[in-house]
Chains A and B, each alone.
Chain A
Amino acid sequence: MLIHTFHKSRRHRNSALWLMMSLPILCLLHPQQAGAQQHLIRFEKYQLPNGLTVILHRDTTVPVVAVTMMYHVGSKNETPGLTGFAHFFEHLMFEGSEYIPRKSFEKYITNAGGSYNANTTQDRTFFYEVLPSNQLALGLWLESERLLHLKIDSIGVNTQREVVKEEKRLRVDNQPYGTIFIEVLKRAFSGPYHWSPIGSMDDINRAQLGQFLQFYHTYYVPNNAILSIAGNIEIDSTKKLIQAYFGSIPKGKTPIPRPDPNEPPLTHEIKDTIYDHIQLPAVIEAYRMPKETSPEYYAAQVLATALSGGPSSRLNTVVKDQKQLAVAVASIPYFNEDAGLLINYAIANMHVNPDSLQQAMDQEVHKLTTQLLPEKEFEKIMNQIQTDVVSSNSTMLGIAESLADYQMFFGDANLINQQLQKYQQVTREEVLQVAKKYLRPDNRVVLYYLPISQKQAAGE
């Protein structure tokens, strides 16, 4: 029941191709481990007549099962004046159903020895239970009940309203640098990515029961969801259970609204100063990036790795280590369904002027836009990415979520097995092109976070 500030990097996926290519060599080196390299994620995918997409992955080495539901609705489906609504609704999904009394949804899961949570991004809302594998049916019952029979009333709305507001205070308002994401979005986008999933206090106060019911009937329908299950399951019996619990849920009656995917580009650099309760200034440079399905996505990930992947990366080596201008640096790719960002940020070392910090960051970014990555560095980045991709998908929950994610936003769950292949197609020239195209001053938002004590000095 939280907000994903940043999407998990989609880089951490497996690749069948790489495994096939590397297998013969490894067989020679470690003949006794030949089978160990084959970690293809096998899955089955189908659709129920009511439009619910189902993905099943079987792994018998663990005594658990992850049951997940991903709904194609996030904060970008909200209307201005009701920001924070999708996330608020996520909380209400735990309120109970016709057969699940209030406050007992979670109990069923923990009583069964399971764990659960949910989160809301700008694009989608995700719910999951990880259960001992003999409790699969429980997970299906719970998820189907709240899709079919959710019961919400003003008591639940008002309780969750306070909880959501407290979540905002905890994660955003009372957290040093907690508003970075909100302030960046506000300036980087003018369409529905303009606000973050947490929304505003006023809007949270405004949300009414009737609006929630309408939201539920519009977006929480089987044809807007993916049920993705991974773990120690038997495929045929699982399918029968799914049919029994989800088959009779009616398809949505109204068309599902999709916000305009065309986010106008930035035309000039937007620069601003935010005063926060912090001691150390921070510099944030957020560059507008293409949407996640763009072919340029993989090159953009390489750029982020060049900047901050590992201690030998450029921002870490130059800005943090050699020049000692920062205590922390990061380059965070934030890719969404309709648009993306590359957010570079640095927290200044003590007594470091943010201008000189920004200058040092800009120098590193500038190099990426003017020179090819040296071959050795490119190879290093590819090695780092290989480790991430190969060692990812190590948990049932992670696999279930990735499969759903690739299916929902790329239309192809099997991309989980093709990530390394995609990266291996990236060339140094393409990385340079992508850097040139996007890492431009007129395509970015620059924010200085300064201690509020400097506000007076600045004469404001």
Chain B
Amino acid sequence: MQKISVLLLFILLNGITAFAQIDRSHPPAAGPAPEIHIGTPDTFTLDNGLKVFVVENHKLPWVTATLILDHPPVREGEKAGYVSMAGQMLRTGTLDMNKQQLDDTIDFLGGNIRTSSSSATAFSLSKNFPALFAIFSDIVLHPSFDTTELEKLRKQTLSSLAQQKDNPNAILSHVTDALTYGKQHPYGEIETEQTVSHINRDDLVQYYQTYWRPNTGYLAFVGDITPQQAREVTQKYLAHWQPAPVPHPIYPFPEQPKQLTVAIVNRPTAVQSNIAFANPIDLKPGDMRNFPAMIMNEILGGGSNSRLFMDLRETHGYTYGAYSSLSNDPYVGIFRASTAVRTEVTDSAISRLLADLQDMRTKPVTEDELTRFRNALSGSFARSLENPSIIAQFAINIERYHMPRDYYQHYLQYLAQVNAEQVQKAAEQFIQPDHAYVIVVGNAKQFADKLKAFGKLEYYSVYADPVTPDTTTQAPQGISATDVINHYLTAIGGKEKLQQVKSFSQVAEGEIQGQQVRLTEWHLQDQHYMQELSLPSSGMVITKITMNKDSIRMQQMGQQVALTPQMKQQIQQNAKWCPELTLLNQADKLTLTTATDENGKQVYAIQYTQPNGTITYQYDPQTGLKLHEIHQVQLNDRTLTSVYDFSDYRQVKGLQLPYEISTSMGPQRVTFHVTQIQINEGLNESDFL
């Protein structure tokens, strides 16, 4: 206590000095560092091996008890999810009380009890704590694993899995774990609808009976409780918990890719790309390399002053945040750097991210950075002491991971001793760009090609199964053919304006085999149509198609041509000035997919099926404009394909219309430039005879 008074005196003096000489142009100097004293909890061990820690803190009248069971992770295989389910099931009923009774009793005490696969926590005001701890012990020792509750939990789990399919962060996290640890490692297993449906009650019971044993347990009491009271309740409720040996399976260290590998999870509707860089690391708790590694990670991406944040957010404005994390683990740890950026800058952001990682490995950090981030870590250590549970956590960690006894006591000194060389070495050791994955969850078509520059491209499903990169047959999620058509109609002027177009004529000129040609089309109410291909030099008509209410005719060099039903059908289709208006009423005949057009651009493709063939309309997903039409007609055993490309959209009477139309049929390709468009100007039925 005397130390504290002396310290306060210092602050006081410092304060007065600062007042006398306040100088706004410089930050004020700090007072002497506050003395940090880490208390030692009382500990005792029950005969059954349960180790108990008590941290007395009477500031608030509350108590928390936390039980941690320490055993290696369990591989679940075909039943991934059962370990976590067993943990949740503990809270849903004991031999004496069903879930409803547990809920009522615990809530009535104003407390709460939570359970997970290898831990359980109880919290309440100290006056209600003895009653709450009795229930807590019952939950830990006598779970019923009721099958009705299991089915409820299964249903909830399946629902939340369905939800996660839409959550880019959840997808990123699953796929990162699966690739970094490997699906054979417990840390890399992914719960799916299928694995969850395989789980049965016996799996849960067996897990509980094997792993929930006091000899692997640590129990911490924190708050308004004395060691004597803690001893009494533990003896009373947990002394008869039976110990048993617990298996210690060994898992090989994950295999890493031979080169940097970009793993893409395609989400065509994403507006952002969620990106993670990850590689496994071999760094156990208590290892002294943790101190330089921690500082290295802090400088790189620990917070909003770190390099990644400064670079990707403050300098480039790519993202709201960019961070890295380095997690030690007794089995296998992980280094991860991640961000979420708008789709257009996916490749630029990855490029910056990788450059920042490389810098960390190849250049020593500056003394200034070292001091700043060491201070940051020291400060956050001091701030963490505000929560009394941390003292119990420290004591348990030292026992559990066989850490040096003074690890936390001298934590600040250990941080202070780290130098730039050690930091760089930590970066070399723990960041491995040549043997890592960059995982990207986003709209692949928008960036996939550009990511080839970084390394090998692989495609994965949301469950980290390899998938084929060809996504042409994949239907975009969450958007329908009608949406695409409506988008197009809006883009060219809106349905209302389009419906006001009664007649339409257009003149376009192009070149066929060195010969200038003119294509003129006249439309009236979709039922009257004429098309004429002529030579502007002589005025000679090469072909002419005429369609009216009664007939469809075609002349070639003045001669009537007999038309097959298929050809008539195609003409009828062409007669529609804006076929999309009628397609809207035939949604059942439309299929929407995404495709890549000949220019490598991603488009929305709508296939319209007719009796003798199909027409595919392709639209730009961004602007909504129509880019291509592909007509396929079945003629005996042959398929005739003709393609129309539309570009150079211009404004005409409030509508957006293409001024460049290319058409190809087989090897022939002609580009027409529109020279004249007339809308609602003097056409009537008699012009189509």
Residues on A facing B (Cβ under 8 Å): 22, 26, 29-30, 32-33, 35-37, 39, 60-64, 98-99, 103, 106-108, 110-115, 130-138, 140-142, 145, 149, 158-159, 161-163, 166-167, 169-171, 173-176, 232-234, 236-238, 240-241, 243-245, 277-280, 309-313, 316-317, 321, 324, 327, 347-350, 376, 379-380, 383-387, 390-391, 394-396, 451-453, 455-456
B107 engages A391 (CB within 8 Å): no
Instruction: State A312–B60 Cα separation when bound (angstroms).
Output: 26
Instruction: State A103–B310 Cα separation when bound (angstroms).
Output: 8
Q: Does B112 contact A (CB under 8 A)?
A: yes
CB nearest neighbor in A for B486 = A460
B28 engages A138 (CB within 8 Å): yes
* Of listed B12, B14, B18, B341, residue having the most chain A CB within 10 A: B18
Residues of the A chain whose Cβ atoms lie less than 8 Å from the Cβ of B342? 166, 169
Instruction: State A39–B25 Cα separation when bound (angstroms).
Output: 40
One of B271, B313, B380 near A115 (C-beta < 8 A): B380
Instruction: State A30–B232 Cα separation when bound (angstroms).
Output: 15
Residues of the A chain whose Cβ atoms lie less than 8 Å from the Cβ of B269? 277
Q: Does B589 contact A (CB under 8 A)?
A: no
Chain B contacts with A in 368-419, Cβ cutoff 8 A: 371-373, 375-380, 382-383, 385-387
Instruction: State A133–B310 Cα separation when bound (angstroms).
Output: 27
One of A63, A237, A316 near B34 (C-beta < 8 A): A63
Residues of the B chain whose Cβ atoms lie less than 8 Å from the Cβ of A240? 15-16, 19
Residues of the A chain whose Cβ atoms lie less than 8 Å from the Cβ of B152? 321, 324
One of A162, A277, A348 near B317 (C-beta < 8 A): A162
CB nearest neighbor in B for A117 = B304
CB nearest neighbor in B for A316 = B103
A36 engages B59 (CB within 8 Å): yes
A110 engages B320 (CB within 8 Å): no
Once A and B bind, how many residue pairs between them come within 8 Å at the CB atom? Answer: 278
Instruction: State A309–B106 Cα separation when bound (angstroms).
Output: 12
Between-chain CB contacts (< 8 Å), 7 pairs: A63-B382, A111-B371, A174-B270, A312-B106, A347-B159, A350-B158, A383-B128
Instruction: State A119–B514 Cα separation when bound (angstroms).
Output: 69
Instruction: State A321–B92 Cα separation when bound (angstroms).
Output: 11
- Having A240-B15, A395-B386, A452-B477, one finds 7 other A-B pairs with CB under 8 Å, namely A137-B15, A137-B29, A166-B320, A174-B168, A376-B108, A456-B480, A456-B482
A280 engages B110 (CB within 8 Å): no
Encode contact with A along B66-110: 1 for CB under 8 Å, 0 otherwise. 000000000000000000000000000000000110011011111
One of A107, A135, A167, A280 near B305 (C-beta < 8 A): A107
Q: For the complex, count residues of B whose C-beta is within 8 A of A.
A: 99
A62 engages B19 (CB within 8 Å): no
One of A106, A115, A134 near B30 (C-beta < 8 A): A134
Residues on B facing A (Cβ under 8 Å): 4, 8, 10-12, 14-16, 18-19, 22, 24-36, 58-62, 99-100, 103-104, 106-112, 124-128, 152, 155-156, 158-160, 162-163, 165-168, 224, 226, 269-272, 303-305, 310, 313-314, 317-321, 340-342, 371-373, 375-380, 382-383, 385-387, 477-483, 587
B386 engages A170 (CB within 8 Å): no
CB nearest neighbor in B for A142 = B27
A452 engages B155 (CB within 8 Å): no
Residues of the B chain whose Cβ atoms lie less than 8 Å from the Cβ of A113? 375-380, 382-383
State whether A62 and B60 are in contact (beta carbons under 8 Å apart), knowing that A133-B34, A134-B32, A238-B15 are contacts in the complex: no
B15 engages A112 (CB within 8 Å): no
Residues of the B chain whose Cβ atoms lie less than 8 Å from the Cβ of A166? 313, 317-320, 340-342
One of B107, B226, B304, B587 near A32 (C-beta < 8 A): B226
B110 engages A387 (CB within 8 Å): yes
Residues of the B chain whose Cβ atoms lie less than 8 Å from the Cβ of A176? 163, 166-167
Residues of the A chain whose Cβ atoms lie less than 8 Å from the Cβ of B373? 110
Q: How close is A61's CB to chain B, nearest CB, in angstroms?
A: 6
Q: How close is B558's CB to chain A, nearest CB, in angstroms?
A: 49
A391 engages B125 (CB within 8 Å): yes
Residues of the B chain whose Cβ atoms lie less than 8 Å from the Cβ of A350? 155, 158-159, 162
Residues of the B chain whose Cβ atoms lie less than 8 Å from the Cβ of A391? 60-62, 125
Residues of the B chain whose Cβ atoms lie less than 8 Å from the Cβ of A131? 379
Residues of the B chain whose Cβ atoms lie less than 8 Å from the Cβ of A138? 27-28, 30
B19 engages A244 (CB within 8 Å): yes
Q: How close is B274's CB to chain A, nearest CB, in angstroms?
A: 8
Q: How close is A236's CB to chain B, nearest CB, in angstroms?
A: 8
Instruction: State A347–B159 Cα separation when bound (angstroms).
Output: 10
Residues of the B chain whose Cβ atoms lie less than 8 Å from the Cβ of A324? 152, 155
A241 engages B15 (CB within 8 Å): yes
Residues of the A chain whose Cβ atoms lie less than 8 Å from the Cβ of B270? 174
CB nearest neighbor in A for B102 = A311
Q: How close is B105's CB to chain A, nearest CB, in angstroms?
A: 8
Residues of the A chain whose Cβ atoms lie less than 8 Å from the Cβ of B159? 280, 327, 347-350
A387 engages B111 (CB within 8 Å): yes
Q: How close is B313's CB to chain A, nearest CB, in angstroms?
A: 6
A321 engages B27 (CB within 8 Å): no
State whether A279 and B104 are in contact (beta carbons under 8 Å apart), knowing that A174-B271, A384-B110, A453-B478 are contacts in the complex: no
Instruction: State A159–B15 Cα separation when bound (angstroms).
Output: 37
Residues of the B chain whose Cβ atoms lie less than 8 Å from the Cβ of A37? 61
State whether A327 and B156 are in contact (beta carbons under 8 Å apart), knowing that A132-B379, A277-B477 are contacts in the complex: yes
A456 engages B587 (CB within 8 Å): yes
Instruction: State A64–B587 Cα separation when bound (angstroms).
Output: 65
Residues of the B chain whose Cβ atoms lie less than 8 Å from the Cβ of A33? 58, 126, 224, 226
A106 engages B379 (CB within 8 Å): no
Q: How close is A328's CB to chain B, nearest CB, in angstroms?
A: 8
CB nearest neighbor in B for A161 = B317
Residues of the A chain whose Cβ atoms lie less than 8 Å from the Cβ of B166? 176, 277-279
Residues of the B chain whose Cβ atoms lie less than 8 Å from the Cβ of A310? 103, 106-107, 112
Residues of the B chain whose Cβ atoms lie less than 8 Å from the Cβ of A309? 107
B28 engages A137 (CB within 8 Å): yes
A159 engages B22 (CB within 8 Å): no
One of B4, B29, B304 near A106 (C-beta < 8 A): B304
One of A99, A108, A236, A453 near B477 (C-beta < 8 A): A453
Instruction: State A229–B342 Cα separation when bound (angstroms).
Output: 39
Q: How close is A334's CB to chain B, nearest CB, in angstroms?
A: 23
B31 engages A134 (CB within 8 Å): yes
Instruction: State A391–B163 Cα separation when bound (angstroms).
Output: 34
